Structure 1
């Protein structure tokens, strides 16, 4: 593991409880994306929430009738909210059987992966998805890679990697995905929300 990932993991272990409280309520975009998945996948579809943090999105996916499991590198995050059915894992080497999933959900987590490792992660997403499976992911939009301090605990920092839709779409295509749609959203940063199918 790179120092960037190890330090970001350690930061999440420390800030986990406060993070879980701050992001407990579902954002409008989360509900909209889950609505979309509910329209294209049957009840009981198998979904992995990769980079699930405290498991808030995992719970929402289950409430919609999906068989959702959560995976995150930070044990502090996984244990902060008492979520069941979650496991510690590195998204570059997922403990998931090949072709066993109907969808991968990865919200604001891939942005912590160093750019050189992104193709490995996308290949893992493709490996665990069945043919035609859904990928829903959100990324920070922009250029470069940078350390950012945590706003509510400034002694801690996280590594962020920014992406452009053109280059990321090309990486998805190389990994075996076709981009179906994407949208943008602005908060304290610019976001890309991307939907893709496993070829």
Structure 2
């Protein structure tokens, strides 16, 4: 495991309880994306919540009727919220057979993957999705990559990778996805949200 990913995992282990409390309320974008998935998928669709953290979005997806498994690299994040059915794993090698999921949900998680490894992650998402399966992806918009201190726990740091829409669409296309739509929003960061479908 690269130092970037390993150090970022250790940070999430250390800040898990604070993170779970700080980000417990869903944003308007999350609710809109949930509604889109409900309209597009059968009620018992199988969804992988990748980079699920304490499982906030896992629960929201389950409340929509979906069969959801959450995956995260940080064991403390997985256990701090008391959400069952979460699995510790690396998104670069998901413990899933090919073409078994109806959707992949990856919100504010792939942004910690070093840029050279992003194509492998997108290929892994494509591998586990059935043909026609949907991807909901959220990353930070911008240029470059590097370490950032955690604003509410500044002795810890995380590796961030910033993305621009055109290169990201190209990478998704190479991984076998058709990008259906994208949008932007700004909070403490500038975000890109993409909806894509496996070809």
Q: Secondary structure of the residue that 1:52 maps to in structure 2? A: coil
1:161-176 correspondence runs (5 A)? 161-176=161-176
Name the count of aligned residue pairs: 199
Aligned to 2:103: 103
Deviation of 1:109 after TM superposition, in Å, equals: 0.1
Runs of 4+, deviation exceeding 6 Å:
none
TM-score (normalised: structure 2): 0.99
Determine if the alignment matches structure 1 residue 115 to structure 2 residue 120.
Answer: no
TM-score (normalised: structure 1): 0.99
1:1-199 correspondence runs (5 A)? 1-199=1-199
- CA-based RMSD of the aligned residues comes to 0.4
Deviation of 1:112 after TM superposition, in Å, equals: 0.2
Deviations 1:88-124 (A, max 9, x none): 0100000011000000000000000000000110000
Q: Distance in 2 between matches of 1:53 and 1:114?
A: 19
Deviation of 1:196 after TM superposition, in Å, equals: 0.3
Deviation of 1:27 after TM superposition, in Å, equals: 1.1
Q: Distance in 2 between matches of 1:11 and 1:136?
A: 25
Deviation of 1:174 after TM superposition, in Å, equals: 0.4
Structure 1, unaligned stretches of length 5 or more?
Answer: none
Deviation of 1:146 after TM superposition, in Å, equals: 1.4
Deviations 1:53-111 (A, max 9, x none): 00000000000100011000000100010110100010000001100000000000000
Q: Distance in 2 between matches of 1:142 and 1:23?
A: 22
Q: Secondary structure of the residue that 2:163 maps to in structure 1? A: coil
Q: Secondary structure of the residue that 1:103 maps to in structure 2? A: strand
Q: Secondary structure of the residue that 2:96 maps to in structure 1? A: coil
